[in-house]
Amino acid sequence: MSLRTHIAVAAGAALLGVAGTAASALASDSAEGTNGTAAFRAEAARDGLSARQISGLQQKVDAFIAKSGGKQTAANRITVKGASVTLTVPGEKYARTLNSDSPAMAAAGCPYYDFCGFKGSNFTGDQWNVSSCALHEIPDGWNSGGSWINNQSTGTRARMYDKNKSLIYTTPGAYSSDAYGDWGPVWYVRPC
């Protein structure tokens, strides 16, 4: 066998080894994603969701992540850019916590030190929680209506900005809320 043939055989073997390793890694990543989704579906079923609700909820999660990025951390929760979004279960009015060790809570609530936005009026629909003082972009699709709760430390004011990052509104000091706000002109929020 010539030197060129030895080199070609060695190079081919090396490429097959790399390809095999890459294929194994892709298969592992794919299985992990599928198993993660399966685990979220199982947890949602334990929380009493129907197969139709589970499927619809996963479609909402997938659509949100495709549009805005983020990572699914529970059946209806996504962490994204220093915030979390809790999606409503299809057919329900309020966001609620799923996948806990206890039965699902009636509402996700707004934790202390957070600014919480709701897609719908009167604290309904998908919920967006932020706590860091950075400038946060509101979720895509929040073009009108809505509501918010400022549950940060006493007296802290959140600021809302338009698409040019110009200040358009400052909330009253915490604790404060607005059950009938308007996300239409708002593109960004700085919680504190």
Q: Which residues of the chain have pLDDT under 50?
A: 1-35, 101-107
CA–CA separation, 127 and 117 (whole Å): 6
At residue 77, the pLDDT reads 93
Q: Domain tally for the chain?
A: 1
Coil, strand, or helix at residue 160?
Answer: strand
At residue 108, the pLDDT reads 53
Six-digit token string for 150: 């400022």
Six-digit token string for 19: 């390809």
CA–CA separation, 117 and 175 (whole Å): 14
Residue 119 burial (C-beta neighbours within 10 Å; 0-12, 13-18, 19+): buried
Count CB neighbours of 79 within 10 A: 14
At residue 47, the pLDDT reads 85
> For residue 136, what are the domain limits?
3-190
Length of the chain: 192
At residue 99, the pLDDT reads 64
At residue 105, the pLDDT reads 42
Strand order in the sheet with 114-118: 71-74, 77-80, 83-86, 127-130, 114-118, 147-151, 176-178
Q: How far is CA 3 from CA 7, 8, 10, 13, 17, in A?
A: 6, 9, 11, 15, 21
